[in-house]
């Protein structure tokens, strides 16, 4: 490879690497609901810190294209570019998830784990619900938020999941959902 081309490649490599601690301009807006660094402490607002970047990006895109709707969240992505979505997703994925202080009911959590094992949730969500790519991390997410999402999937109020979650949640009753949330919030 000629030296000039090598230099060009080196230059591109440097450009493609954002500074590890760079904070996207729009992250300040998100903090109003999702907390600083996406470490939400309010149960209605999902924790974004430590979520997979790919999943965050897909959700922002889905809100923008009306595949997922929420009166508080949908307006946030109006006019947002794909690059801004990627930058925000990478930023929140890099942050450390907060510790939960929810009072887990040990018996409900035990039943929730049994249900999760029986339903093979971790085939997609991975062990400990750590998430991977487009499959979200659910470990340590807020109790109220988990309940709302599973209930929304079941009622088909949320349908941006290509069928995976709407079919899984169809096999869960309200008690299963409560037990699963006790299990997941404590992971
Ligand atoms: C006014 C409050 C509010 C603000 C500000 C806000 N959000 Fe949200 N966001 C929400 C709510 C509420 C939800 C959950 C909605 C639902 O149940 O679908 C949500 C959900 C999300 C989700 C989906 C998370 C998941 O686990 O599926 C992402 C990603 C997200 N927000 C990113 C952002 C980003 C990035 C910003 C800043 C540009 C932002 N939000 C600003 C209220 C807000
Ligand atoms: C076939 C794969 C698959 C299985 C099995 C599965 N999930 Fe999911 N789950 C997904 C995908 C993919 C999404 C993200 C959907 C989207 O993009 O909206 C998701 C989303 C979720 C969410 C919403 C997370 C958020 O931040 O909004 C919860 C909660 C969840 N799953 C819990 C479970 C539980 C509990 C089980 C077992 C009872 C389970 N999942 C089984 C693939 C799966």
**What pLDDT, in 10s, does the model give residues 126-144?**
999 999 999 999 999 999 9
Over residues 5-30, mean pLDDT: 65
pLDDT of residue 15: 47
Provide the mean pLDDT of the chain: 91
pLDDT of residue 162: 85
pLDDT over 80 at 123, yes or no: yes
Residues 6+ apart with CB under 8 A from 95: 37, 38, 39, 48, 49, 50
Residues 6+ apart with CB under 8 A from 48: 30, 34, 38, 40, 56, 92, 95
Over residues 34-52, mean pLDDT: 96
Residues 133, 134, 137: CA angle, nearest 5 degrees: 75
Residues 183 and 39: their CA atoms lie apart, in Å, by 20
Residues 6+ apart with CB under 8 A from 15: none
Q: How far is the CA of 165 from the centre of ligand 2 (A)?
A: 5
Q: How far is the CA of 82 from the centre of ligand 2 (A)?
A: 24
Over residues 13-17, mean pLDDT: 47
pLDDT over 50 at 159, yes or no: yes
pLDDT over 70 at 1, yes or no: no
φ/ψ of 29, rounded to 5, equals: -65, -45
Q: How far is the CA of 156 from the centre of ligand 1 (A)?
A: 19
Residues with CB under 6 A from ligand 2: 46, 58, 116, 119-121, 123-125, 134-136, 138, 141, 146, 149-150, 160-161, 164-165, 168, 180
pLDDT over 50 at 11, yes or no: no
Over residues 89-109, mean pLDDT: 95
Q: How far is the CA of 8 from the centre of ligand 2 (A)?
A: 42
The size of the chain, in residues, is 187
Residue among 136, 149, 177, 180 to mutate when testing ligand 2 (max atoms within 8 A of CB)? 136
Residues 123, 129, 131: CA angle, nearest 5 degrees: 80
pLDDT over 60 at 19, yes or no: no
Residues 104 and 184: their CA atoms lie apart, in Å, by 9
Q: Which of 44, 93, 39 is nearest to 71 (CA)?
A: 44
């Amino acid at each position: 490879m000629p030296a000039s081309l090598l230099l060009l490649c080196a230059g591109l490599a440097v450009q493609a690497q954002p500074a590890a601690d760079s904070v996207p301009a729009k992250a300040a807006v998100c903090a109003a609901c999702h907390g600083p660094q996406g470490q939400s402490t309010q149960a209605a607002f999902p924790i974004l810190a430590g979520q997979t970047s790919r999943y965050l990006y897909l959700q922002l895109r889905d809100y923008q294209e009306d595949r997922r709707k929420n009166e508080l969240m949908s307006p946030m992505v109006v006019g947002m570019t794909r690059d801004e979505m990627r930058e925000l997703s990478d930023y929140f994925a890099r942050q450390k998830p907060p510790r939960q202080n929810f009072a887990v009911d040990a018996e409900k959590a035990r039943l929730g784990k049994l249900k999760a094992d029986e339903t093979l949730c971790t085939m997609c969500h991975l062990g400990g619900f750590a998430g991977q790519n487009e499959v979200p991390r659910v470990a340590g997410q807020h109790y109220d938020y988990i309940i709302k999402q599973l209930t929304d999937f079941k009622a088909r109020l949320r349908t941006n999941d290509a069928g995976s979650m709407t079919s899984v949640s169809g096999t869960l009753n309200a008690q299963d959902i409560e037990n699963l949330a006790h299990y997941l919030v404590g992971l």
